[in-house]
Amino acid sequence: MTNLDDNRLVKTFAELRSAGKKALLPFITAAYPDLETTQALLHDFERRGVRACELGIPFSDPIADGPTIQASYGETLARGVRVGQILEMVRRYREAGGRLALVAMVSYSIIFRRHPEAWLAAAREAGFDATIVPDLSLEEAGGFEPLAASCGMANVMLVAPTTPQERKLRIAAHSRGFIYYVSVAGITGERDRLPPETTAAVSDLRKHTDTPICVGFGISNPQTVRGVCEAADGAIVGSAIVRRISDAKDAPRERLVEQVGRFVGELLAPLL
């Protein structure tokens, strides 16, 4: 038995694969516009059939995030939100019966400052199931991945279109839970369409690994979700969701949650 046998994210993808289904992974900025709204969104997504969600931990110098997510991070940090408050919100979500597999998108600067062992233990205890560390290099992942696994946390790694083939395979070998395939070179953001070679690249990577592959960056509508999931195990949507949160942030919480949840439901529909 490995340390990840009971991991929600690993089990979620195993169950979906067994049922011949694919995953939608919404990305939202933790505590944007506030902690209570984030928790309410998680419950709403789960009610609509979402199985896993990424929570972005706000950071002052995001690595690959476009203007929409950068702005949400900046506003959240300006309100003085701290990592400990986000962990406590996740804990409340679990105590309220929340069952989504939760993935923390977090800079290694935050992890390093809190010390890797302490961060992983605290995140796992709060209710996170995995981490994505966009500024963790492959060379450093060799030590971090087993450390995460020892805490029951999956370490999800990113592969870019420009990553050389040999390095892609090494990254895949260190990635747990799923492999995050970045669809385009550059930063996150909504796009009308993805490069046609994305599907071919995912299919090629699939020949070399059994780990689930999810595609992110630029996915913003149900058609693109359906398209990438012809080859991938899941689609990640961030900027399109965060923009809708931003557009509704001054509305009553119930209205924001309903509007954003309805959009997430539309994204999920092709996969049900």
Q: Retrieve residue 118's tokens.
A: 């302490």
Write b or e for each residue in 139-171: b if 16 or more Cβ atoms lie within 10 A of its Cβ, otherwise e. eebeebbeebbebbbbbbbbbbbebeeeebebb
Q: Scanning the structure block, which residue is given the tokens 């090629």? A: 204
Catalytic residue, candidates 44, 54, 129, 233: 54
Active-site position among 65, 145, 190, 233: 65
Distant-in-sequence, close-in-space partners of 111: CB < 8 Å, separation ≥ 6: 119, 120, 131, 133
Q: Which among 80, 18, 75, 76 has a CA at the least distance from the CA of 51?
A: 18
Pairing type for strands 101-105 and 179-182 reads unpaired
Place of tokens 């944007």: 32
CA gap 202, 49 in Å, rounded: 25
Check: CB of residue 5 under 8 Å from CB of residue 151. no
Rounded to an integer, what distance in angstroms lies between the CA atom of residue 267 and that of residue 263?
6
- Quickly list H helices, the chain: 8-18, 35-48, 67-78, 83-95, 108-114, 116-126, 138-150, 165-174, 197-206, 222-228, 239-247, 253-268
Q: Quick check: is 88 catalytic? A: no
Q: Is 166 a catalytic residue?
A: no
Around Cβ 56, how many Cβ atoms within 10 Å?
26
- How far apart CA 161 and CA 197 sit, in angstroms, is 9
Active site residues: 54, 65
